[in-house]
Amino acid sequence: MLKNQWYVILLASEVKINQIVGCTRLGTKLVVWRDDDEQVHCIYDRCVHRGVSLCKGEVKNNHIICPFHGFEFDGSGKCVLIPANGKANKVPKNFQTQAYRVVEKYGYIWLYYADEFPATDDIPFFTDLSGEQGDTFATKDYAECWNTHYTRAVENQLDVVHLPFIHRNTIGKGNKTVVNGPYVEVDQENLIIRTYNEVDHGQNPKTADEIKTDVLKKDYKLEFRMPALWQNHIFDKLRITIAFSPIDDDHTMIYMRTWQKIVTVPLGKQFMNWQSMRQAIRVLHEDKPVVESQEPKITSLRMGEKLIKGDQPIIIFRQMRARLLENISSK
C-alpha cells in the first residue's frame, strides 16, 4: 500500500456515537468510534496487555474499554487506566497502542496511512464535488467488498477498452470496439481521461492528438485522484464516484456514490437517486467477477502483461504508483 496518503476507510454514517466499529483496512485491524462530541477516533485493534481485540469491548467516557481486563484507551492510543492497579496509580508511558489520524469529510471517514500524523488535513477529493457546489447534489451510497487488490479494482475503472465486451448490454451497447485515443491529462497525482469508441469499419483508431479538440468539447470524462478515488463525470448534473478502500492484498471495499441534480423535488429526487444507483450497481456487478479472476491480484509497472495503446490510462496509473513507491522506499 502507498504510505503518506489519505484513504477512505468507512462511510461517516457507519460510525455512531459511543459505538465501536471494527474493520481491517490497509492490512491493519482497526477500531473506530465517535465520542460524545461527535469526533471520530481510530486506534490499532489490539490491547497492549494481552493482545485482545478492542473492538470486542465497549465505549465508556469516550474511551475504549478492553473486554478482557478493563484497560481504558483514549483517542491518542494511550492507556489511561489499568483497573487492577487502581485509579490512584499512573499508567506507564509504554502502555500505548498505535493511533491513526482520521478526518470526517465529504460523508466519509478518511485515514492518513503513515508512521506519523500528517502536517495538514488536505483531503484529496474532487474540487467540483466539494464545498457548496458538492452540496447542490443529491447523493446515494453503496458499499461492497471485492476479492481483489485495490490496484485491480482501480484499473478496471480506468479501462476504456472493455466496455463493448463486459458491458455489451448496458453502457457498452453498440459493439463500438475501436478505441480512439485515449486522450489523458496528467496533473501531478491526478488523471483526466477522455475518449470515444466507434464501430469497427476497418478504420485505424485515431490518436490522442487527433481526438483532443473533439473530446475537450464534451462533458464526459473519467477522473482519478491518487491514491484511490475515481469519478465518472457523465455530465455536469450526473456523476458517479468510487472510493477504493484497501482491506488487504486480496480484498477491497468499494464505496460507490451517485450524484445528481437533475431532479430536485423531494419524491422525484428519491426516485432518481434510486434509479441512478440501481443502474450503477448493475454495471459494477458486470465487472466484479471478471476483475476478481485476474491474476496476479496486485499490479505493478513491470509485470509481464502485454498492454496496448488503449491501456494508456492504466500505464500512467502504474507509473505514478511506482514513482510514489520508489519515493517511499528511498526515505
pLDDT digits (tens, 9 = 90+) for 35-88: 999 999 999 999 999 999 999 999 999 999 999 999 999 999 999 999 999 999
Q: What is the mean pLDDT of the chain?
A: 95
- Whether 169 maps to a domain, the answer reads yes
pLDDT higher than 90, residue 291: yes
CA dihedral 112, 26, 327, 313 (to 10 degrees): -100
Of 79, 113, 147, which residue constitutes the final position of a domain? 113
Q: Which residues neighbour 227 within 8 Å (Cβ) at sequence distance 6 or greater?
A: 2, 5, 6, 7, 189, 321, 324
Task: Categorize the per-residue pLDDT at 330 as very low, low, confident or very high, splitting at 50, 70 and 90.
Answer: low
Give the number of domains in the chain: 2
User: Is pLDDT above 90 for 145?
Assistant: yes
Residues 232, 98 share a domain: no
Q: Are residues 42 and 176 in the same domain?
A: no
With bands split at pLDDT 50, 70 and 90, how would you rate the model's confidence at 261?
very high
Alpha helices in 56-201 (DSSP H): 131-135, 150-158, 163-166
DSSP symbol at 281: H
| Cβ-contact 313, 193 below 8 angstroms | yes
For 292, residues 6+ apart whose C-beta sits below 8 A from its C-beta are 146, 147, 148
Out of 94-98, 106-110, 130-134, 217-221, pick the least confident.
130-134
pLDDT in tens, 175-204: 999 999 999 999 888 999 999 999 999 999
The answer to whether position 120 is within a domain reads no
Report how far residue 62's alpha carbon sits from residue 231's, in angstroms, rounded to the nearest whole number: 36
Q: Which three cell numbers stand for residue 252?
A: 477491497
Would residue 80 count as lying in a domain?
yes
The verdict on 265 and 147 lying in the same domain is yes
84 and 187: one domain?
no
Same-domain status, 72 and 178: no
Quick one: 107 and 150 in the same domain?
no
CA count, 13 A, side-chain hemisphere, 71: 23
* Segment 274-291 mean pLDDT: 97
Top pLDDT among 134 and 111 is at 111
pLDDT over 90 (residue 329): no
132, pLDDT greater than 80? no
Query: How far is it, in rounded angstroms, from Cα 306 to Cα 165?
Result: 19
CATH number, domain of 42, equals: 2.102.10.10
User: Is residue 208 included in any domain, yes or no?
Assistant: yes
Structural domain of 66: 5-113
pLDDT band at 288 (very low <50, low <70, confident <90, very high): very high
Residue 263 pLDDT greater than 80, yes or no: yes
- Partnered with residue 17 across adjacent β-strands are 34
Least confident of 13-17, 116-120, 164-168: 116-120
CA atoms within 13 A on the CB side of 255: 21
Q: What is the pTM of this model?
A: 0.95
293 in any annotated domain: yes
Same domain, 19 and 80: yes
Asked whether 33 and 9 are in contact (CB, 8 A), the reply is: no
Question: Do 219 and 227 form a contact (C-beta atoms < 8 A)?
Answer: no
Residue 70 lies in a domain: yes
Based on the fold, state whether residues 152 and 269 are members of the same structural domain.
Answer: yes
Which distant-in-sequence residues (6+ apart) come within 8 Å of 212 by Cβ?
183
**Would you say residue 118 lies in a domain?**
no
On whether both 104 and 148 belong to a single domain, the answer is: no
- If asked whether residues 225 and 131 sit together in one domain, one would say yes
Residues in the chain: 331
Q: How far apart are CA 331 and CA 115, in angstroms?
A: 12
**Residue of 188, 24, 13 whose CA lies nearest to 111:** 24
- Residue 305, in any domain of the structure: yes
Same domain, 107 and 131: no
Domain end position, chosen among 113, 136, 165 = 113
Domain boundary, last residue among 88, 113, 138? 113
Residue 141 belongs to domain with CATH number = 3.90.380.10
Q: Could you tell me if 179 and 285 lie in one domain?
A: yes
**Residue where the block lists cell 496486485:** 298
